[in-house]
Copies of this chain bind each other. A is one copy, B any other.
Amino acid sequence: MGHRLGPNTYGKAEIRLLHVDRDGPRHEVRDLTVGVTLAGAFDDTYLTGDNSAVLPTDSQKNTVYAFARRHGIGAVEDFARRLARRFVTAQPETVAHARVTVVEHPWARTGGHSFAAPAGEGRTAEVTATLQADWTVAGLTGLLLLKTTGSEFRGFLRDAYTTLPETDDRILATEVEARWRYGAAPGDWDAAHGAAREALIGTFGSTHSRSLQQSLYAMGGAVLDAVDEVAEVRLRLPNRHHLLVDLGPFGLDNENVVFHPDDRPYGLITGTVSREGAPPPGLAWV
């Protein structure tokens, strides 16, 4: 039997870029990691090594740098869309869709022209474009959240392998990976991102949680409530277990005071929350 080439993509990953805006009274810096992925009529290079339709990934990198110089950055969603559209319009007969992914690493000003990086947290944007349309997904990664009370885990199914005791008060901690799809462009991408982020943080804290799943659903719903243009929220929440240390052998009680934050294994909860009547996702998640 013969072989058949199936779905395939190519592109450039992890293009590091620092942009300095020197036009105002104080410099502004933007620190991005950019990825480009193209899909389309690229079968020839796989099948025969004919590269005549292949734009080198080096040229994709050059385009990212040149666009940063020519157009600046602006909202990362705009920057990603500008690039995604470039790649699809530059080769309309070859590129079926282009995806540009941006992770922004924030810097905080500490002086006129000096900055410190306060966080491992990153703001993300992914734009997928065809000739006819484009879809925008925003998100964040590496946001650590923890609450010291207001979390229980009870009434769960027990089988022959269940030893976990029920608890009505535990530490709940996670590292949020969130992505939300816009059904329409908000008036202000940055404000929309800020409102979504605040909704995730606030709802994690204010929800009395009977399971991390319940917190997930509440957090996703809060993003939908906070930003009208968001159509759908996808969340990935590892359950970073905090184990109560047994201090009884040393004559000490331990009423939820001293914990061992365990590395592995960890529970992993994923879920999607979408707005009823939201427009279809198109290629947003492809």
**B-contacting residues of A (Cβ < 8 Å)?**
1-22, 27, 29, 31, 35, 37, 42, 45-63, 65-66, 68-70, 90-91, 107, 110-121, 143-150, 153-164, 171, 201-202, 204-206, 209-211, 213-214, 216-217, 220-221, 224, 232, 238-239, 242, 245, 247, 249-250, 252-278
Partner of A114, one of B47, B65, B147, B153: B147
11 contacting pairs across A/B (C-beta < 8 A): A8-B213, A8-B271, A12-B265, A20-B257, A21-B257, A46-B271, A47-B214, A49-B210, A50-B210, A55-B159, A69-B247
Q: Which B residues touch A45, using CB under 8 A?
A: 210-211, 213-214
Check B1 against A268 for contact (C-beta < 8 Å).
no
Q: Are B3 and A276 in contact (CB under 8 A)?
A: yes
User: A144 — which chain B residues lie within 8 A by C-beta?
Assistant: 107, 116-117
Q: Are A256 and B22 in contact (CB under 8 A)?
A: yes
Cβ B6 vs Cβ A274 within 8 A: yes
Residue of B nearest to A39 (CB): B270
State A263–B15 Cα separation when bound (angstroms).
10
A79 vs chain B, min Cβ distance (A): 13
How close is A63's CB to chain B, nearest CB, in angstroms? 5
Across the interface, do B258 and A161 meet the contact criterion of CB distance under 8 Å? no
Is A148 within 8 A of B269, CB to CB?
Answer: no
A84 to B158, CA, bound (A): 18
CB pair B220–A3 under 8 Å, yes or no, is yes
